């Protein structure tokens, strides 16, 4: 154990000497000290680090100095790549350490030789990509598809050249010696620092991916970055999903077998027919339909049982007829889907949250554990390791109760490390005068855009318009294009998110309209972003079955459901959205929130305490003047 890892961050330390533009920050120093203590004591730390603190260095330096095996898990692939390709090499060079580091992604990121053998191109374009991919893999043993430049973002064959836990043949695979997942896991097993993701870590804790060794084996420390997302991910892995996509994928895999079982074709097609019938019975609104409500519909209940019967029939036939690893694996998948479909209907309401959801492409039946705290505690207890949870948004005005209760971390040390940015100087929070609580129709979107237009004009574009629904995104984009034909409006869903963001950064005078995907994890430092418009406070709909079930659980304990269930996630989402604006010491701008409840409701004070210390203004003239004085873009003519 390094005696004083915090010394690395001082004005005379190696980071200051070796890294250009590095300067000591008080929050970073304190966080590094707390991480080092957690490693030394094998304890848990919950760390909320404001933007600009330098949280990644604050935990990576102690991990590198500690010298024992550590797992770092992120929610987004972009942060995972940043840690592995940029931060860790830079720090190792500055510190003079030589720790072995491995990058481990989910199975869907690695080429699967066995599945690629049976992949069926739809046309010449698919065939050309597949041929180029096979040639590339022959020269790049890692098989990491993110490194293959010739792979289209929406390539339909990707699922046919990658594996999942369900369709992987494991050690029975004839290509096991060439397996890219096996090699990545083997490399990770030898590394001191493994950069993984939330899904891999959750799968390990839930014992759902033991095919190629234990990710957590011998780990002395586990760091969960972007930890505000962790409880939801963990719940997914202790629950299950049945979807129309799964069933079509199973049918495609059956077709790809070299010797398809002819006797399975009719029952498999019967499953797809039953699935299509069920899909027609799932309403598109509300977005998530509670199981009890769904089963009250006689047509839905009848078609669900029809799907169960069809799955039972084909699973039984497949189990009897299976010969060889590939057929046995497919039979096991069919049985798992049948059991999940049956459990969805019968799972006890006090133990699981079950709902149906329909999208443009199909439907899903979800089941999540109602309370993951006990499952989480059991997983942590099984690992004799230090746990560090890091994010910019983990508390509600300094209260970490919501996060620690959901994960059973009441014994953890919780700490906040404020942002070093001068928010009082760099930005303003503008809440326009107008109606109080917004309605649920598009009239509110229209009012918000009307109030935002003068700000967008003086900012010269350079704006995010963040909405709480897809319908609002579409309406906001329509209004902006009609009102300002010369304005470049980029809209989520019209192109891939990464391409939209890159175009926004390059343009410097565009407006990007988006929903949940752009509320967090998006980094646009500099003049390209100088105005963030948020349509309303991001509370979950009252009829959402997940939140309704959590409310019932909290109310049964005699506690306030609003304060324990509704307010904390809304605060986290709002913090994330507001946090898009100021990403560096040089950034300036305005956040506009079109929701007067921030000022008119008692809970608004709690929400404001969680936000950066922007001066609050309600007058349009003051917001326009601040943007005019600080924005680098050219004003837009109306």
Q: Report domain extents, the chain.
A: 5-100+191-237+372-417, 107-177, 240-369, 423-630
Q: What is the pLDDT of residues 483-504, one digit of tens each?
A: 999 999 999 989 888 889 999 9
Q: Is the pLDDT of residue 437 over 80?
A: no
Hey, CA dihedral for 277, 283, 284, 289, is it positive or negative?
negative
Half-sphere exposure of residue 68, counting CA atoms within 13 Å on the CB side? 17
Q: What is the pLDDT of residues 334-345, one digit of tens each?
A: 999 999 999 999
- Minimal CA–CA distance to 429: which of 310, 594, 182? 594
Q: Is the pLDDT of residue 388 over 90?
A: yes
Helix segments in 440-493, DSSP class H:
442-459, 470-483
Helix segments in 193-297, DSSP class H:
198-205, 230-237, 244-256, 265-281, 291-296
Are 437 and 624 in contact by the 8 Å Cβ rule? The answer is no
CATH number of 423-630: 3.40.50.300
CB atoms within 10 A of CB 583: 17
- Mean pLDDT for all residues in the chain: 91
Burial class (CB in 10 A: 0-12, 13-18, 19+), 439: exposed
pLDDT of amino acid 505: 94
Average pLDDT on 18-32 reads 93
Place of tokens 């069919």: 334
Helix segments in 322-386, DSSP class H:
325-346, 373-381
pTM of the model: 0.91
Angle CA 386–390–392, to nearest 5: 165
pLDDT of amino acid 279: 95
Average pLDDT on 84-105 reads 96
Hey, CA dihedral for 463, 469, 474, 479, is it positive or negative?
negative
Q: Which residues contact 462 (CB under 8 A, 6 or more apart)?
A: 508, 509, 510, 511, 527, 528, 529, 530, 531, 631, 632, 633
Are 383 and 214 in contact by the 8 Å Cβ rule? The answer is no
Q: Is the pLDDT of residue 532 over 50?
A: yes
Half-sphere exposure of residue 528, counting CA atoms within 13 Å on the CB side? 19
Class (C level, CATH) for 240-369: mainly alpha
Half-sphere exposure of residue 30, counting CA atoms within 13 Å on the CB side? 15
| Encoded tokens for 515 | 């929903």
Q: Is the pLDDT of residue 299 over 60?
A: yes
Are 511 and 489 in contact by the 8 Å Cβ rule? The answer is yes
Question: Residue 369: left if φ>0, alpha if ψ -120 to 50, beta else—which one?
Answer: beta
How far is residue 357 CA from its own chain's centroid? Answer: 19
Q: What is the pLDDT of residues 114-164, one digit of tens each?
A: 999 888 888 888 899 999 999 999 999 889 998 888 887 778 889 889 998
| Encoded tokens for 551 | 């409310």
Note whether 5-100+191-237+372-417 and 423-630 share their fold. Answer: yes
The three-state secondary structure class of 421 is coil
How far is residue 265 CA from its own chain's centroid? Answer: 37
pLDDT of amino acid 83: 96
Q: Is the pLDDT of residue 214 over 60?
A: yes
Q: Is the pLDDT of residue 190 over 60?
A: yes
Domain 5-100+191-237+372-417 falls in which CATH fold?
Rossmann fold (3.40.50)
pLDDT of amino acid 208: 64
- What pLDDT band is residue 215 in, cutting at 50, 70 and 90? confident
The three-state secondary structure class of 414 is strand
- What pLDDT band is residue 270 in, cutting at 50, 70 and 90? very high
Q: What is the pLDDT of residues 576-593, one digit of tens each?
A: 999 999 999 999 999 999
């Amino acid at each position: 154990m390094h005696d004083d890892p915090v010394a690395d961050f001082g004005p005379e330390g190696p980071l200051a000497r070796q890294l250009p533009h590095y300067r000591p920050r008080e929050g970073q120093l304190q966080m590094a000290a707390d991480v080092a203590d957690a490693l030394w004591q094998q304890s848990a730390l919950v760390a909320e680090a404001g933007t600009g603190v330098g949280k990644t260095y604050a935990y990576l330096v102690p991990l590198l100095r500690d010298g024992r095996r550590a797992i770092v898990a992120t929610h987004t692939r972009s942060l995972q790549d940043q840690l592995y390709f940029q931060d860790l090499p830079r720090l190792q060079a500055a510190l003079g350490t030589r720790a072995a580091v491995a990058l481990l992604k989910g199975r869907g990121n690695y080429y699967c030789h066995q599945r690629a053998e049976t992949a069926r191109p739809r046309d010449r374009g698919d065939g050309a990509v597949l041929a180029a991919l096979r040639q590339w893999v022959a020269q790049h043993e890692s098989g990491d598809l993110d490194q293959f430049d010739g792979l289209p973002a929406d390539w339909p064959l990707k699922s046919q050249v990658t594996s999942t836990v369900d369709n992987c043949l494991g050690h029975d695979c004839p290509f096991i010696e060439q397996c890219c997942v096996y090699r990545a896991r083997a490399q990770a097993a030898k590394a001191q620092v493994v950069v993984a993701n939330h899904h891999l870590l959750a799968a390990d804790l839930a014992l759902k991916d033991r095919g190629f060794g234990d990710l957590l084996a011998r780990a002395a420390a586990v760091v969960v970055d972007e930890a505000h997302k962790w409880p939801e991910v963990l719940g997914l892995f202790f629950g299950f999903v049945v979807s129309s996509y799964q069933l079509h994928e199973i049918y495609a895999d059956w077709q790809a077998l070299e010797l398809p079982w002819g006797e399975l074709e009719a029952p498999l097609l019967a499953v797809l027919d039953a699935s299509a019938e069920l899909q027609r019975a799932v309403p598109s609104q509300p977005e998530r339909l509670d199981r009890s409500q769904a089963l009250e519909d006689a047509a839905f209940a009848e078609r669900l049982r029809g799907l169960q019967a069809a799955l039972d029939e084909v699973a039984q036939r497949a189990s009897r007829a299976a010969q060889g690893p590939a057929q046995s694996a497919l039979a096991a998948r069919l049985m798992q889907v049948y059991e999940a479909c049956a459990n969805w209907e019968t799972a006890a309401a006090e133990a699981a949250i079950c709902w149906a959801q329909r999208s443009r492409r199909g439907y899903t039946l979800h089941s999540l554990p109602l309370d993951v705290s006990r499952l989480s505690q059991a997983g942590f207890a099984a690992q004799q390791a230090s746990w560090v949870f890091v994010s910019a948004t983990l508390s509600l005005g300094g209260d970490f109760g919501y996060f620690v209760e959901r994960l059973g971390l009441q014994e953890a040390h919780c700490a906040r490390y404020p942002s070093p940015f001068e928010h009082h100087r760099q930005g303003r929070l503008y809440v326009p005068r107008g109606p109080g609580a917004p309605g649920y129709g598009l009239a509110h979107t229209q009012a918000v855009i009307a109030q935002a237009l003068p700000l967008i004009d003086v900012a010269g574009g350079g704006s995010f318009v963040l909405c709480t629904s897809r319908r609002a995104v579409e309406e906001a984009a329509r209004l902006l294009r009609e009102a300002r034909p010369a304005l470049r409006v980029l809209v989520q869903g019209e192109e891939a998110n990464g391409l939209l963001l890159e175009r926004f950064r390059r343009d410097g005078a565009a407006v990007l309209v988006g929903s949940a995907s752009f509320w967090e994890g998006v980094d646009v430092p500099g003049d390209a972003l100088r105005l963030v418009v948020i349509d309303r406070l991001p509370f979950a709909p009252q009829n959402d079955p997940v939140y309704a079930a959590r409310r019932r659980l909290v109310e049964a304990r005699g506690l306030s459901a609003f304060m324990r269930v509704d307010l904390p996630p809304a605060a986290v989402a709002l913090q994330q959205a507001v946090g898009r604006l100021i990403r560096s010491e040089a950034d300036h701008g305005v956040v506009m929130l079109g929701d007067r409840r921030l000022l008119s409701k008692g809970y608004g004070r709690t929400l404001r305490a969680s936000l950066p210390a922007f001066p609050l203004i309600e007058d349009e003239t003051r917001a326009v003047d601040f943007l005019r004085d600080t924005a680098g873009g050219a004003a837009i003519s109306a």
